[in-house]
């Protein structure tokens, strides 16, 4: 596995691979890798012949008072896992390589509406930071295909939208959520949970599964399912930011004939904000 720290070194590596006629896949991450990230890498290797992974804890997507400074950084262990997973090139930039004059002075990408709802309503600058850094990375890598986890479902849809709007020639693939044995979606932030909170955490996914079954049985209406879901999460000791039923393709309000529907939720457990979603 080669490692690049500068945009020039990254471009050099990718150029060589492209010159050799290889199809390039790209997996952006913030590191502290777990089986969820590795599932993206495994899928990347199935759909392309040269896999680029980036590890960058993007300061621009963290809001005031969020966990930028304490976000887990485990680069050495990450490198070992990526090497073993057959990654070809790791991009490991310092913030200066991405934002030479700081994020505040950098050209930015905003995705209207999709970036403002659900998680965007509770973290108002989050998706601007995500879209901007992914846009920069997409330009630097110029992959044929990029892979994102369905765990961050709104992010996946938003990136698809950005790629469509900005006419980027990149295929965006979603990869199903990898879970712990008890159903909790794997996440770097799960380590913020105390032992007791960790035991309570699977109830987010459990609640989504129950609501999915209710909807499949022909539930009364969307609003009452959402209200019941919020109550259940609270009863199970979580503090929900939202729990909604949305059209899967664009997160719009589902109409009666919409077949492809998803339930999405975010809820706090202590200082961990858990997000999860499920297809109905």
Q: Would you tell me which residues interact with ligand AMP (CB under 6 A)?
A: 29-30, 36-37, 39-40, 148-149, 151-152, 175, 177-178, 185-188
Closest distance to ligand AMP from the beta carbon of 38 (Å) = 9
What 8-state DSSP symbol labels residue 150?
A: G
Provide, rounded to whole angstroms, the least separation between the CB of residue 188 and ligand AMP.
Answer: 6
**Cβ 130 to ligand AMP shortest distance, Å:** 9
Q: Shortest distance, CB of residue 249 to ligand AMP, whole angstroms? A: 18
* Contact by Cβ (8 Å): 128, 108: yes
- Determine how many CB atoms are found less than 10 A away from the CB of residue 45: 17
**Which of 37/160 has CB closer to ligand AMP?**
37
- Answer whether 247's CB lies under 8 Å from 254's CB: yes
Closer to ligand AMP by CB, 172 or 225: give it.
172
Judged by beta carbon, residue 31 or residue 254, the one nearer ligand AMP is 31
What span, in angstroms and rounded, lies between the C-alpha atoms of 3 and 89? 6
Query: Is the CB of 206 or the CB of 228 nearer to ligand AMP?
Result: 206
Name the residue among 149, 144, 147 with its Cα closest to residue 168: 144
Nearest-angstrom CA–CA distance, 197 and 193: 5
CA angle 51, 14, 99 (to 5 degrees): 95
Residues 6 or more apart from 268 whose CB is under 8 A from it?
A: 238, 239, 240, 241, 274
Residue number, 1 or 42, with CB nearest to ligand AMP: 42
CB of 273 to ligand AMP, least distance (A): 12
* Closest by Cα among 250, 280, 275, 249 to 263: 280
Positions marked active-site:
37
């Amino acid at each position: 596995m080669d490692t690049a720290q500068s945009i020039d070194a990254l471009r050099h590596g990718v150029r060589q691979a492209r010159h050799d006629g290889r199809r390039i896949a790209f997996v952006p991450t913030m590191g502290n890798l777990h089986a969820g990230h590795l599932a993206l890498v495994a899928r990347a290797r199935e759909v392309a012949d040269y896999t680029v992974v980036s590890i960058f804890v993007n300061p621009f997507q963290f809001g005031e008072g969020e966990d930028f400074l304490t976000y887990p950084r485990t680069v050495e262990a990450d490198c070992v896992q990526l090497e073993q997973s057959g990654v070809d090139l790791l991009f490991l930039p310092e913030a200066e390589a991405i934002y030479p004059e700081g994020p505040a002075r950098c050209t930015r990408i905003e995705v209207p509406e999709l970036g403002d709802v659900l998680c965007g309503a509770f973290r108002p600058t989050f998706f601007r930071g995500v879209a901007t850094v992914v846009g920069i990375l997409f330009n630097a890598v110029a992959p044929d295909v990029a892979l994102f986890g369905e765990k961050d479902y709104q992010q996946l849809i938003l990136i698809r939208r950005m790629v469509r709007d900005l006419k980027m020639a990149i295929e965006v693939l979603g990869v199903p959520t990898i879970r712990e044995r008890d159903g909790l979606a794997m996440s770097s932030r799960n380590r913020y949970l105390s032992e007791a909170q960790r035991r309570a955490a699977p109830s987010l996914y459990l609640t989504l599964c129950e609501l999915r079954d209710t909807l499949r049985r022909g539930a009364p209406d969307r609003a009452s399912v959402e209200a019941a879901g919020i109550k259940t999460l609270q009863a199970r000791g979580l503090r929900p930011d939202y729990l909604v039923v949305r059209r899967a393709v664009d997160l719009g309000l589902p109409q009666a004939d919409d077949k492809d529907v998803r339930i999405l939720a975010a809820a706090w457990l202590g200082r961990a904000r858990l997000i999860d979603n499920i297809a109905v």
